Amino acid sequence: MPLKRQSAIPLYRQIQDYIAEKIKNGEWASGAKLPSQRALASFFHVNRSTIITALESLAAQGLIEGRHGGGTRVINSTWSLMAQKKATDWGTYVEAGRYKPNLPMIQKINLAEFNPRVIRMGTGELSPELLPSEKFTELVKALSPNLLSLGYQEPKGALHLREALSRHLKTDGINASPSSILVVSGALQALQLISSGLLDRGSSLLLAKPSYLYSVHVFQSLGMRFIGLPSDHEGLQPERLAACKRKYHGVILYTIPSFDNPTGALMPEKRRQQLLSVCQQEQLPIIEDDVYRELWLDAPPPPSLKSMDHSGNVLYVGSMSKVLSAGLRIGWIVGPEAVIERLADIKMQSDYGSSSLAQLAAAECLRTGLYQEHAAFVRKQLRMRRNHLVDLLHTYFADLGQWQIPSGGFYIWLELLPAIDPKLLFEAALRHDVLINPGVLYDRSARRYLRLSYAYASLQEMEQAMQRLRNIVVELAN
Ligand SMILES: Cc1ncc(COP(=O)(O)O)c(C=O)c1O
């Protein structure tokens, strides 16, 4: 919140009034924990002493209370004081929900990403410079009013979008008629629907270690177990799949064969065939997460598992987030019709379908060729950015780390040679306005790794960030 620095009202009073207002409105209800003093100081851009003065004053008014070791909590609201009623303690409800909270580091990342001073070196999102803002605006302006429906859509999503997706998937060798495609609000929703629609508590998900999936709680929140499998520069190793299928209950495999998140690994065709053949033999279903497929930088990736699958073993997940717009929230699942119908039914129960406007815009992007044209532009830009980050690594990290050069996607999986506590490194980098994604978010034992992204920061920012990171690593290593 911007404070009025020229105002005659002292800063601590402005902060005090801001917090008091939140409490009075019930936004920070009785029992709610206030952000830490450090977080408040960084939010308001003031010294900690200013925050302490504001908090002391709120405590004197009986609105908040500091608890030893438990932070500061709201103890009452003026409304409930006036009404002489005890307010609901939402805290117990907040803790009771079935969904696990995000890891604290992820929560911090999610907030810090919106701090304009911060250089985002870990982010899995395209830089605003790489988004087709002008062309997209033109396209939306020209949308045909005849196609725009402001009502609910069919359970599987707008037909014209599924038809456009069906044609698009065909160019990647996937034969999927519109009836076996479900439109979803991003690939993350695809994973959510699969976890709630196809798997029961106690089932097991086989996945590479590290994996993107460790950083979100879609499956764990519903009581699923993760079985981490070894992976190398060619991605997931298929050797243990058969034994795992036999050993565990309700098993499904999750894999990102093209430009893995976080390692950037690309699975070669031979391993894809091996994987598919073991899974077919063992009747082990596969979730193929292919959201980075179109972002190849050196050569197109080998065929997707789905395009080689003739027995309906693969649920294929795609998205527009990494190529066109993450905010559009449009993704898709391709699979056997019975599965798609089940997932569509659950989607109807949860949100009655993705936004009609977003679906129409997405279909137009595919129909007019904007999507394909923009994918080529993004590939070119990412190629330059990847090369730049690799050069920076040679300049600043040649003696401090090792890495493989990814042939697509957003990420370089940097292994640091000195052993540094990942939390300390993360905090120190953030104090220097550099946001990184430590490897532990993707595998608890990957303590030496960082997922660096060349998709978001500008070339100049990348240089500043890598310079600062080098200094921090050297300092913490000594
Ligand atoms: C591998 C992978 N799958 C799924 C997602 C979620 O993407 P979406 O924005 O389509 O929900 C991401 C985003 O980072 C990802 O990296």
Whether the per-residue pLDDT at 271 is higher than 80: the answer is: yes
Q: What is the mean pLDDT of residues 237-255?
A: 93
Beta bridge partners of 67: 71
Residue (of 269, 365, 288) closest to 324 by Cα position: 365
How far apart, in whole angstroms, are the C-alpha atoms of residue 181 and residue 344? 9
What is the distance between the alpha carbons of residues 461 and 173, in angstroms, rounded to a whole number?
39
Mutate to test the pocket of ligand 1, among 126, 165, 255, 321 (most ligand atoms within 8 A of CB): 321
Ranges 61-75, 203-217, 225-239: which has the least confidence: 61-75
For the CA of 190, the closest atom of ligand 1 is: 11
Q: What is the mean pLDDT of residues 222-241?
A: 94
In this structure, of 39-53, 287-301, 389-403, 413-427, the range with the lowest mean pLDDT score is 39-53
Residue 275 has pLDDT above 90, yes or no: yes
Q: Taking the mean position of all CA atoms in its chain, how far away is CA 270?
A: 29
Please name the CATH architecture into which domain 133-370 falls: 3-Layer(aba) Sandwich (3.40)
pLDDT above 80: residue 244: yes
Residue type, 230: P
Mutate to test the pocket of ligand 1, among 194, 267, 322, 456 (most ligand atoms within 8 A of CB): 322
* Residue pLDDT, tens place only, 133-181: 999 999 999 987 777 778 889 999 999 999 999 999 999 999 999 999 9
Atom of ligand 1 nearest to the CA of 326: 9
Q: Which atom belonging to ligand 1 lies closest to the Cα atom of 331? A: 10
Q: Report the pLDDT value the prediction gives residue 208, as an integer from 0 to 100.
A: 97
Please give the CATH number for the structural domain made up of 112-124+374-477. Answer: 3.90.1150.10
Determine the pLDDT at residue 92.
82
Rg (CA), the chain: 25
Let me know if domain 11-97 sits in CATH 2.60.40.10. no
Question: Does ligand 1 have an atom closer than 6 angstroms to the CB of 187?
Answer: yes
Centre of ligand 1 from the C-alpha of residue 187, in Å: 5
Cα(319) to ligand 1 centroid in Å equals: 8
Share of the chain above pLDDT 70, in %: 97
Beta strands in 298-363 (DSSP E): 314-319, 331-334
Q: Which of 387, 79, 333 is nearest to 193 (CA)?
A: 333
Residue 221 has a pLDDT of 87
Mean pLDDT computed over every residue of the chain: 93
Return the ligand 1 atom nearest residue 124 CA.
Answer: 14
Percent of the chain with pLDDT over 90: 78
Summarize pLDDT for 47-102 with one digit per residue, the tens.
Answer: 999 999 999 999 988 899 988 777 898 887 655 555 555 667 777 888 888 888 88
In this prediction, residues 241-270 reach a mean pLDDT of: 96
Express each pLDDT in 288-331 by its tens digit: 999 999 999 999 999 999 999 988 999 999 999 999 999 999 99
Q: How confident is residue 217, by pLDDT bands cut at 50, 70 and 90?
A: confident
User: How long, in residues, is the chain?
Assistant: 478
For 16, 184, 248, 271, 329, the CA distances from 260, given in Å and listed in that order, are 46, 21, 25, 14, 21
Domain positions in the chain are 11-97, 112-124+374-477, 133-370
Cis before 10 (ω within 30) = no
pLDDT band at 333 (very low <50, low <70, confident <90, very high): very high
**pLDDT score at 342:** 97
